[in-house]
Amino acid sequence: MNALPRASIAQSGGLASLESWVSEVAALTRPDRIHWCDGSETEYRHLLELMQADGTLLPLNPQTHPGCWLHRSDPDDVARVEHLTFVCTREQEDAGPNNHWMAPAAAHAKMDALFDGCMRGRTMYVVPYCMGPIDSPLARCGVEVTDSPYVVINMRLMTRMGAEARARIEREGAERAARGEPGDVFVRGLHSLGELDPARRFIMHFPEELAIKSYGSGYGGNALLGKKCHALRIASWQARQEGWLAEHMLIVGIETPAGETHYIAAAFPSACGKTNLAMLIPPEAYREAGWKVWTVGDDICWMRPGPDGRLWAINPEAGFFGVAPGTSAASNPNALATIQRDTIFTNVALTEDGQPWWEGLDDRVPATDWRGRPFDPANGPAAHPNARFTVSAAQCPSYSPHAEDPQGVPISAIVFGGRRATTMPLVFEARDWTHGVFVGATMASETTAAATGQVGIVRRDPMAMKPFCGYHFGDFFAHWLAFERPSVHLPGIFHVNWFRKDERGAFLWPGFGENLRVLEWIIGRVQRTAEAIESPMGLLPADGALRLDGLDMSAWDERRLIAIDSEDWAAEVHSIQSFFASLGDRVPPQLKNQLPPDHNAG
SS3 assignment for 218-272:
CCHHHHCCHHHHHHHHHHHHHHHHHCCEEECEEEEEEECCCCCEEEEEEECCCCC
pTM reported for the whole predicted model: 0.94
Over residues 307-326, the mean pLDDT reads 96
Identify whether residues 152 and 301 lie together within a single domain: no
Q: Say if residue 351 carries a ligand binding annotation.
A: no
Assigned domain for 129 exists: yes
Assigned domain for 593 exists: no
Q: pLDDT (tens digit, 9 = 90+) per residue, 31-48?
A: 999 999 999 999 999 999
Identify whether residues 425 and 505 lie together within a single domain: yes
pLDDT band at 65 (very low <50, low <70, confident <90, very high): very high
Q: Which residues form the catalytic set?
A: 272
Full domain range(s) for residue 561: 247-315+403-586
Identify whether residues 126 and 36 lie together within a single domain: yes
Assigned domain for 591 exists: no
Of 212, 242, 272, at which residue does a domain stop? 242
Assigned domain for 445 exists: yes
Assigned domain for 78 exists: no
pLDDT band at 385 (very low <50, low <70, confident <90, very high): very high
Contact assessment for residue 260 and residue 243, using Cβ atoms and an 8 Å cutoff: no
Let me know how long the chain is: 602
Domain of residue 344, CATH code: 2.170.8.10
Q: Count CB atoms within 10 A of the CB of residue 310.
A: 18
Identify whether residues 133 and 12 lie together within a single domain: yes
Identify whether residues 408 and 385 lie together within a single domain: no
pLDDT above 90 coverage of the chain, percent: 88
Q: Say if residue 372 carries a ligand binding annotation.
A: no
Identify whether residues 437 and 485 lie together within a single domain: yes
Identify whether residues 456 and 353 lie together within a single domain: no
pLDDT band at 448 (very low <50, low <70, confident <90, very high): low
Inter-CA distances, 286 with 290, 514, 519, 550, 587, Å: 6, 10, 12, 11, 43
Domain of residue 163, CATH code: 3.40.449.10
Identify whether residues 350 and 437 lie together within a single domain: no
Greater model confidence, 34 or 2: 34
Name the domain count of the chain: 3
Identify whether residues 324 and 364 lie together within a single domain: yes
Q: Say if residue 386 carries a ligand binding annotation.
A: yes
pLDDT band at 8 (very low <50, low <70, confident <90, very high): very low
Q: pLDDT (tens digit, 9 = 90+) per residue, 240-269?
A: 999 999 999 999 999 999 999 999 999 998
Query: At residue 274, does pLDDT exceed 60?
Result: yes
Q: Say if residue 387 carries a ligand binding annotation.
A: yes
Q: Say if residue 276 carries a ligand binding annotation.
A: yes
Of 338, 373, 395, at which residue does a domain stop? 395
Assigned domain for 337 exists: yes
Identify whether residues 101 and 238 lie together within a single domain: yes
Identify whether residues 411 and 481 lie together within a single domain: yes
Assigned domain for 1 exists: no
Q: pLDDT (tens digit, 9 = 90+) per residue, 108-162?
A: 999 999 999 999 999 999 999 999 999 999 999 999 999 999 999 999 999 999 9
Of 374, 395, 416, at which residue does a domain stop? 395
Q: How far apart are CA 497 and CA 509, in angstroms?
A: 9
Question: What integer pLDDT is reported at residue 333 of this predicted model?
Answer: 95
Question: What integer pLDDT is reported at residue 457 of this predicted model?
Answer: 81
Q: Say if residue 274 carries a ligand binding annotation.
A: yes
Chain centroid to Cα 289, Å, comes to 32
Q: Say if residue 156 carries a ligand binding annotation.
A: no
Q: How far apart are CA 523 and CA 413, in angstroms?
A: 8
Contact assessment for residue 277 and residue 252, using Cβ atoms and an 8 Å cutoff: yes
Q: How far apart are CA 88 and CA 213, in angstroms?
A: 11
Q: Say if residue 177 carries a ligand binding annotation.
A: no
Query: At residue 16, does pLDDT exceed 60?
Result: no
Over residues 234-244, the mean pLDDT reads 97
Domain of residue 488, CATH code: 3.90.228.20
Q: Say if residue 489 carries a ligand binding annotation.
A: no
Sign, CA dihedral 378-76-236-302, equals negative
Identify whether residues 262 and 355 lie together within a single domain: no
Assigned domain for 371 exists: yes
